[in-house]
Structure 1
C-alpha cells in the first residue's frame, strides 16, 4: 500500500506486468483559479481494472477525459500503448481513440436513433468499408455481449437506466477497444442493476482481455471490479492499494470511503 500526496507510481514486484497507460505529473486548471489536477501520476497495466475513488470535484473524470483528448492538460505526460498522446496529430489521435472505449455516465445515446442505429452509426463512422450485412452482424454480436439482443428495435426513451448503460457499453464494445474508461457506470441504478453492470464489467475484462479505469462512488462496484484502487484527494493521488488494504488503512479520510 502506498500513501503520499503526489506523484505516486504504483508498486509492482511482478516484472511481467506491461504498462498500457502511463500518466506522469498531470496538471489541469480551469479558469483563473480552479485547479483540479495538481500532479496526478498513475499506471494501468495490461489486463488490469483500476478503480479511481474521490469526492466530487477531485479530478477523477477530468483525468480520464485527458486520456482520450477530450480535455488537454496544462502540464504532464500521457502515454497510451507507449505513444505520447499529447504529441499526436488529430488523425493519429482519432486512430488511437478507436482502441479506447469511453462509457459516459448517461450512456450518451442518440435519442432520435433506435438501438440498432446508435450502434451502426458508431461502427460506420470508423469502419466505412463494412457491408450492411457485416454491420448488422457486428451490431447483434455487441448487443448479445451485454444481454440485450432483443432490444435492437427499441428507442432510447423506451429503455430503463440499466438498459441504457448496457446499450452504451455495447456501443463502446462494437469497436473492440483494448482499453475501456468507465465514468460512474452504476450511478443512478438500483442495487441489483448496479451489481449486474459491475459483473458485466468483469465479464468483458475476462472475455475480451480489456484494461480499464473505472471512476465510481459505488463501493460495491469497486470491491467487485478493482484489481487495484487509487484515491484522489485535492488534485493528487493520496492512497493506493487493494480494496482490502485501503479498507484497513490508518488514514481516516481513506477509510471514510469504506464506511
Structure 2
C-alpha cells in the first residue's frame, strides 16, 4: 500500500542538465488560423516562466500542446529531455501525473465537498490508497494553502479566493514537479490576488516546482516570474526578465504597461 510520502515515486521526471521543458519550432493551426507559428522557448528546472500575450496570441494552446491535449502540427516538445510526441498514451499519462493545474475558475466539482474534490483527484491519479493516506494527503494539501478548516465545505460556501486556493490544493495533492497556472489571479480583488501571488512564490520555494504561469495581471507577472516571454501572433515576440521587458521602448510592448 502506498503512503503519501512515496506517492508517485514509481515515476519521476528525468534529472537532466538542460531545460526541463523545451518547445522547438512548434506550430499549431486550426483550419486556416495559425495559432502557434514556430514558437521556441525553454523552462529550467525550478524556474517560474510567465507567458504574456493578448487574447488569441496562443497562450492557452501552448499549454494544451505541452500536456498532449492538443497535437502539434510541426516542431517538437520535450519534457525531461523526452519528446512527448514520441510517447504512447501510457507513457504520456505518467508525465501528466507530474503536472499540476490551477485553472482560472478553480474548476471544482460543485456537487462535492472540498474533501471529496481533493480525494477524487488523488484517487484518479493513484489507485489503491488507504483512507488514512487519503486523509493525510488532503489535510497536508489544505495546510499548504491555509484552508484546513474548509475541508467539509461545499464550493458554493467559499469565496472566489478560497475556491482558487482549493483549486491550488487539488493541484498540489498529486505532488507535481511541474505546475501550470492559468490566470491565477483572474477575477480576484487586489488583496486576494496578492495572497495568491504569495502562495505561488511560497510553493516554488517549498517544493522547487517548475512553473508556467499564464496571466494578464502585470503584478502577478512581476512578482512570480523568473523570466517572461511575450507572445504575439503565435510567435515569441520578446523574452527576458520582467524588468527588462517593462523598460523596453517598443511601442507594442509598452502597450502592455499602459494604464
TM-score (norm 2): 0.92
* Structure-2 separation of matches of 1:223 and 1:199: 12
SS at match of 1:249: coil
**Which residue of the partner structure matches residue 113 of structure 1?**
112
1:187 aligns with 2:186: yes
Tell whether the 8 Å contact from 1:108 to 1:168 is kept in structure 2 after alignment. Answer: yes
* Residue equivalent to 2:205: 206
SS in 2 for 1:19: coil
> How far apart are 1:129 and its partner, in Å?
2.5
Q: In structure 1, how many angstroms separate the alpha carbons of the residues matched to 2:18 and 2:177? A: 13
**Deviation (angstroms), 1:78:** 0.5
The reply to whether residue 28 of structure 1 matches residue 36 of structure 2 is no
1:222 equivalent in alignment to 2:221: yes
Following superposition, the deviation at residue 88 of structure 1 comes to 1.0
Per-residue CA shift, 1:45-75, capped at 9, x if unaligned? Answer: 0110000100001000110111111111111
Whole-Å Cα distance in 2 between the matches of residues 63 and 197 of structure 1? 23
For 2:194 and 2:95, the matched residues in 1 are separated by 31
- C-alpha distance in structure 2 between counterparts of 1:227 and 1:91, whole Å: 32
Aligned match of 2:19: 19
Cα distance in 2, alignment partners of residues 94 and 232 from structure 1: 28
Structure 1: unaligned runs, 5 residues or longer: 1-15
Distance 1:54 1:203, change over 3 A: same
Alignment partners' CA distance in 1, 2:223 and 2:54? 20
Which stretches of structure 1, 4 residues or longer, exceed 2 Å deviation after superposition?
none
2 CA distance for matches of 1:18 and 1:33?
35
Deviation (angstroms), 1:17: 6.7
Distance 1:34 1:141 in 2: 44
- Kindly indicate whether the alpha-carbon contact (under 8 Å) linking 1:229 and 1:241 is maintained by their aligned counterparts in 2: yes
Match of 2:4 in 1: none
TM-score (norm 1): 0.92
Number of residues of Structure 1 aligned to a counterpart in Structure 2: 243
Distance 2:123 2:54 in 1: 38
Does the C-alpha gap of structure 1 residues 101 and 197 become closer, same or farther in structure 2, counting only changes over 3 Å?
same
> C-alpha distance in 2, partners of 1:130/1:51?
35
Q: Write the distance in 2 (CA, Å) between the matches of 1:161 and 1:24.
A: 37
Residues 17 and 46 of structure 1 are in contact (CA less than 8 Å); yes or no, is this contact kept in structure 2? Answer: no
Task: Tell me, in whole angstroms, the C-alpha distance in 2 between the residues paired with 1:160 and 1:91.
Answer: 37
The Cα of 1:256 is off from its aligned counterpart by 1.5
Partner deviation per Cα, 1:188-245 (whole Å, 9 max, x = no partner): 0011111110110000000000010100000000000010010000110000111111
Aligned ranges for residues 134-173 of structure 1 at < 5 Å? 134-173=133-172
Residue 145 of structure 1 deviates from its aligned partner by 0.2
Aligned residue number for residue 66 of structure 2: 67
Q: Tell me if the contact between 1:17 and 1:45 (Cα under 8 Å) persists in the aligned partners.
A: no
Is this contact kept in 2: 1:177–1:210, CA < 8 A? yes
